[in-house]
Amino acid sequence: MSEELRPQDPIHAPTGTRRSCKTWDAEAALRMLMNNLDDRVAVDWKNLIVYGGTGRAARNWKEYHRIVAALKSLAPDETLCIQSGKPVYIAKTDQEAPRVILANSNLVPAWATPEEFDRLDRMGLMMYGQMTAGSWIYIGTQGILQGTYETFAAIAKQAFKTESLCGKWILTAGMGGMSGAQPVAATMNEAVILDVEVRPERIERKVKEGYCDRMTDRLDEALEWIGTACRIGQPLSIGLVGNAGEVYPELVRRGRIPDIVTDQTPAHDLLSYVPIGDVAELDRLRERDPKAYRQKSLDTIARHAGAILAMQSAGAVAVDYGNNLRAQAADAGVPVQNPDGSFKYPGFVPAYIRPLFCEGKGPFRWAALSGDPKDIHRIDRALKGAFPKDRALKRWVDLAQRKIPFTGLPARICWLGYGDRAKFGLVINDLVRKGEVKGPIVIGRDHLDCGSVASPYRETEGMDDGSDAVGDWPLLNFALNAISGASWVSFHHGGGVGMGNSLHAGMVIVADGTKRRAQRLERVLTVDPGIGVARHVDAGYDLARQTAQKKKIKIPKK
Ligand code: NAD
C-alpha cells in the first residue's frame, strides 16, 4: 500500500489561525483529514485505518499526499471530488458550493457483497470509508460516547425503572475506536462493565487514555472485581484480554449471567472480526486464505451470539449494538431470528434511539481548528447558556468535561434536535466572529443520524411502515446538504453493518464567523435534521408528526 510514502513521524493536524489553504473550508478539510490519522485518534494510523474494522481516511499513502496537495491549491470556487479515498477531479463550481464531495465504498446493488468489495479493495480500486473515517469528521472515541451513555441510561429506565445502573453489571466486547467508549459510558451510568478485547494493546491504550479503569487477562480475577464492585455499588470498568467467542460461553457455563449483555466487535466484517485462535497466525491466514478466515469468524460468531441468546433466556437484557452480529450469526446457523424474521433481541436504535430521531436529534459535534481546548470549554459554557432548561444536556456537558480526555483536535459531541442545531450553529459562529474562540469551528455529525442513513439492521430496523431498506432518504439528505452550502458532503455504503447492508450520508460545515456563513449554517443545520423528521413522519411515527407540527416543518399535505 505505497508504504514507502508513509510519513516517518505520526501525523498531527496543524493548529492555530494561519492557514496553508486558500479558504477555511479547504483548511478545515485538510486538518480534519490529518486529525483522523493522528496517532492519538486513529486505531492504526500507519495503515490509514481510523476505526470500525478497516475504516480508512484515504485509499493509500500516495493518494493521501495527492489529497493534501489538492486541498492546498484548491481555489475558493473549486470542488475536489474524492472517489473511495482518491482525489479524481477538481471541478469549477461556486464559492457557496461544498469544497469537497466524497463518495466511499459505493457499489451497484447486485454487486454489493463483501467478497466483491474485498476484491476491488485488493486491486486498489476502492477503500472502506466506514462512516466518519472516510468523510473526515471522526473525533475519536468521544464521537460515540454520548450515544452509548444515553443508550445505557435508557436501558436503566426501561428495564430496571431506575435512573442509574448502580450495582448492575454489563458484559460487552471490543475496545477499539468506537467500542472503546463502552467502559466510560457504563461508569458514567454508575455501572460495572466487563469488556472483552482480544488485543491487549487496545485495552492498554484505553486505560492510558482514562477510558477504562483496569485490565486483566484472568477471568476469575475480573469476576472477583465485578462481585465486589456490584456489592458496594462502585462504578468500575474492566478490560479482559480474551475472545468473546470463548469468554461469553464460559460465563454461561459458570452461570455468571450479567444484567445487560451486548457487544461491539467489528462483526460487520468477517475479515476484521477475530476468530478464536492465535492472533498472529490468524493475520497470516487472512492474507493467505480469506475464505477460510471468514468461515472461522462465522464459527466463533456462532458461539459468541449463541451465548448472548443463552444469557437473554437466563434473564439478561440483551441488545445489539450496531455491528451486525445478529445477521452474521443467522448466516452461521444460530437461531437468532423469530419465525417472522425479526431478531430475538433488539437493535439499540428501535429499542432506545428512534424517539430521538423523531425529534431530529442525533450525534451533532464540533471541533476547534485552533487546537486550543479553551475554545471547547468556551463553547460548553455557551451550550449550557443556550439551553438553560435542558437538565440532561447540562449533566452531559458537566460529565464530559470531567471524564473525557481530548484526543487530537479538541472536540465535543452533543445530541441536539431540529431547531436546536441551527440555533447553536449560529451561537458558535457568533463566538468565532467576536473572537471569543481562537479560530473557526468545524461542525458536523456522524452518519448515524435521523435522516442520513438507510440500514435495515441498525438505524432503520423495524420501521413502522416497513420501509427499512428504502435507500432514497440518505440520497435526499446528501443532495440537500450539498445545495444548502455544507463545506463538505459524503455518500457511503456499508458503514456500521457492512457491505450490502447500509447507505449513508455525511455533512460538515465550518463556522468561520462571517455573516454569509451564518446564512449557510442556518440553512444546512435546518434541512439536515429536517429531512430526518420528514423521514419519520412519512413512516408514520406520531412523535415525528408532533415535532413537525410544533416546529413548523413543511410536509406536503396528504
Ligand atoms: P475497531 O475495529 O476499532 O475495534 C473493534 C475491536 O474489537 C478491536 O479492538 C478488536 O481487536 C476487537 N475484537 C475483534 N474480534 C473480537 C473478538 N472475537 N473478541 C473480542 N474482541 C474482538 O471497531 P470500532 O470502531 O470499535 O467498531 C466496532 C463495531 O461497532 C463495528 O462493527 C462498527 O461498525 C460498529 N459501530 C457501531 C456504532 C454504533 O453507534 N453503535 C458506531 C460505530 C461503529
What positions carry a catalytic annotation? 414
pLDDT (0 to 100) of residue 558: 84
Task: Calculate how far, in angstroms, residue 175's C-alpha sits from the geometric centre of ligand 1.
Answer: 7
How many Cβ atoms are within 10 Å of 84's Cβ, its own excluded?
25
Closest-lying ligand 1 atom to the alpha carbon of residue 242: 20
16 is in an annotated binding site: no
C-alpha cell at 114: 463483501
Q: Is 203 in the pocket of ligand 1 (CB under 6 A)?
A: no
Q: Is the minimum distance from the CB of 322 to ligand 1 under 6 angstroms? A: yes
Q: Ligand 1 pocket: which of 179, 194, 269 to mutate (most atoms <8 Å of CB)?
A: 179
Give the Å distance between the CA of 179 and the centre of ligand 1: 5
**In 3D, which of 258, 253, 251, 241 has the Cα closest to residue 186?**
258
Question: What is the DSSP code (8-state) at residue 313?
Answer: H
Q: Which atom of ligand 1 is nearest to the CA of 196?
A: 20
pLDDT for the residue numbered 391: 84
All residues at 6 or more sequence positions from 1 whose CB lies less than 8 Å from its CB, including other chains:
47, 48, 60, 61
**pLDDT < 50 positions in the chain:** none
Q: Which residues of 246-271 are buried (b: 16+ CB within 10 A; e: fewer)?
A: bbbbebbeeebbbbbbbbbbbbbbbb
Closest CA to 548 of 525, 518, 526: 526
> Which pLDDT score, from 0 to 100, does residue 395 have?
84
Structural domains of the chain, ranges and CATH numbers in brackets: 1-138+353-551 (3.40.1770.10), 141-346 (3.40.50.10730)
Which triple of cell numbers denotes residue 222?
A: 475480573
Distance 384 CA to ligand 1 centre (A): 32
> From the CB of 531, is ligand 1 less than 6 Å away?
no
Q: Judge whether 417 is annotated as a binding position.
A: no
CA of 387 to the centre of ligand 1 (A): 34
Measured CA to CA, the distance from residue 195 to residue 241 in angstroms comes to 9
pLDDT at 444: 98
Query: What residue owns the CA closest to ligand 1's atom 12?
Result: 174
Nine-digit cell string for 332: 452461521
Is ligand 1 within 6 A of the CB of residue 141? no
Grid cell in block for residue 427? 451561537
Element spanning 491, H or E: strand 488-493
Q: Is 199 in the pocket of ligand 1 (CB under 6 A)?
A: yes
pLDDT tens, position by position, 473-489? 999 999 999 999 999 99
pLDDT the model gives residue 150: 86
